[in-house]
Amino acid sequence: ELHVPCRNRLDHLMSQCNYRRKNITCDAKTDEELFKSVKECFVFLLPRYNHALLKHFDVRCFDFKKQFNDYTSYMSGILQTRRFQSTPYVKRDTNRPRNKANECIWENRAVLEKIDKYLLETVPYYQFCNDCMGSENEITATVAEYNKE
């Protein structure tokens, strides 16, 4: 079984733009120019996930925002505890803090919707997450329901 973390695709895109220090060209004259600026932000996005995985694994998803609570709780009942605990844990940020006020897509609904549609139509990872989240294959929804009982 393979577990894939899923997050909001627009927020994920803007995080990648931040990492690459790129901006979306919200004032692009053509869709081609707009989508080119989107693709320049991708960080290993296209090779990260492929629908062919579904032929070899049971692929399930979990909410990226719940990776350290619901998902960890779910996995703690499946995985063995480590024989050797590494201490102390040192958090290492991999991205700079974002300033959403400087991200033009949030101010232009037409651009936001166009980019969202583009991501969903062209990126297999986002297609998978769109289909999986809210389905019986979403682990974090299952854990949340279990915890309510």
How far apart (Å, rounded) are the C-alpha atoms in residues 112 and 118? 10
Cβ contacts of residue 133 below 8 Å, gap of 6+?
Answer: 6, 61, 63, 141
Angle between the N-to-C axes of helices 109-122 and 124-132, in degrees from 0 to 180, rounded to the nearest 10:
100
Tens digit of each residue's pLDDT (9 = 90 or more) over 53-95 = 889 999 999 988 877 777 777 777 777 777 777 777 787 888 8
Whole-angstrom CA distances from 130 to 77, 88, 102 are 27, 37, 27
pLDDT at residue 143, rounded to an integer: 55
Q: Which stretches within 43-138 are classed as H helix?
A: 45-48, 70-76, 109-122, 124-132
Tens digit of each residue's pLDDT (9 = 90 or more) over 107-124 = 999 999 999 999 999 999
Whole-angstrom CA distances from 117 to 62, 73, 102 are 22, 33, 22
How far apart (Å, rounded) are the C-alpha atoms in residues 106 and 88? 39
Whether the CB-CB separation of 131 and 5 falls below 8 Å is answered with: no
Q: What is the mean pLDDT of residues 2-10?
A: 93
Partners of residue 120 on adjacent β-strands: none
Residue 148: pLDDT over 50: no
More confident site: 79 or 134: 134
Q: What is the mean pLDDT of residues 23-48?
A: 95
| Local structure of residue 138 (DSSP, 8 states) | B
pLDDT at residue 104, rounded to an integer: 96
